[in-house]
Structures are given as C-alpha cells and as structure tokens.
Amino acid sequence: MKYLITIFCFLIFTTSANSQEKSKSANSVDIFYLDSLYSNKDELIIFSGIHKFDNLNVSEIKNKIKNWASLKFVNLREVLISETDDQIVLNYITSSLYVKSLGVKTPIQFYIRLQMQIRDGRVKYTYFDDGNVRMLPSQYSSGVQARSFYLKDYFSEKNGSYVSRKGYAQGMADLVASIKENFYSVIVNNEAVKKLNDNW
C-alpha cells in the first residue's frame, strides 16, 4: 500500500512539474534577431529613450540623476566615467546576459555604457554595448581581454538575417528587458524620492 501511495505522489509531482515547465517555456524565446538587440547597429546602441522632468533646470536634473545612480549602482564613483555641464556618462557591468545549455544558465558579463544628455526639462538616455568584461584564464579557456568582442559577435547569419547562436536567445531578450527596466527605474526612483521629500 505504501508503495502505491509513493508512486501516486510521484506521478502527481511529475505532472505538476511538467505543466509548470510548459508554462515557463511558453514565455521563452527560441529565436532572437540582431535587429531586436540594437536600435542602431552601426553605433552599437541597444536602447534610447527620453524622460521629461517638468519645471526642472539642468543642475536640478543632474542632481536627480546622481541620486538615482547612487541608489542603482551603490557606488557612483565606480561607474561614473564622465561628467560635463550637460552630460553624464556611466559605465556599468550587467550579468543579465546568459547562455543556457542543458538547462543550466551561465551568466556572461558585459559592459553597458549609459550616456545621459541633459537639457532643461528632459534627459536623453542612450545605452551602448561596450564590450565584454575581461575573462580570466581557466582550465577551459585561455582568457579574454576586456572589450575584445561585442554582443553582435554572438549572432550568425541564417537565411539573410542575423540570429543569436543556440542557447543565447533568451539571455539576449532578458538583457534588453533589463536595460529597459533600468531606463524606467529612473522615473520610479525619482517618484519615490519625491514622495519621501514631501513627507520629510
């Protein structure tokens, strides 16, 4: 009797796990095109967008951006590479890209350069593919210098289009989604800071 109960529980667990896996795979991406990665392939621009900050001048907007970046990246000094009167440039590492092989996700770190051009009342955010992070030598690899290849190098031509290599499609889609999430977090974090200041 115990044997039958064990088998019955195993069958229920297996059926439940299979249905969950099918629902996850319904949202997965099997093919990812190079045109879906870059909005401008020549300049390696992944995403570009504009946020409006009504009734704020350039210095007030720069202050808001620095507050957001300090929250987002923990140490602003580590990611800030350039600052002028009307522009801030950050360079950060993302681990959103990964390759999936035999059901295991292996993260691949890449540099993203974020250029923010500031005008009174608005900011243009441009996210660039800035190349790979340095990979140290291991028993499987001789190592790779930083910025020796770019995201476009994970694509190959197939039927006249450039398609991501096997195992990279979902990782590429997640990378683009994380960059867009980063872009929209500027407004969310600034609204949170604004509410906090109102109640202060």
pLDDT digits (tens, 9 = 90+) for 104-143: 999 999 999 999 999 999 999 999 999 999 988 877 678 8
pLDDT digits (tens, 9 = 90+) for 165-186: 999 999 999 999 999 999 998 8
Q: Tell me how far CA of residue 164 lies from CA of 98, 99, 116, 168, 172, in angstroms.
A: 12, 11, 29, 6, 8
In the prediction, which pLDDT does 149 show? 93
Q: Tell me how far CA of residue 92 lies from CA of 66, 159, 171, in angstroms.
A: 14, 35, 18
In the prediction, which pLDDT does 22 show? 41
pLDDT digits (tens, 9 = 90+) for 72-106: 988 899 999 999 999 999 999 999 999 998 889 99
Assigned CATH for 30-134+162-193? 3.30.530.80
- Evaluate if pTM is beyond 0.85: no
Work out the burial of residue 15: count CB atoms within 10 Å of its CB; fewer than 13 is exposed, 13-18 middle, 19 or more buried.
exposed
In the prediction, which pLDDT does 3 show? 55
In the prediction, which pLDDT does 139 show? 72
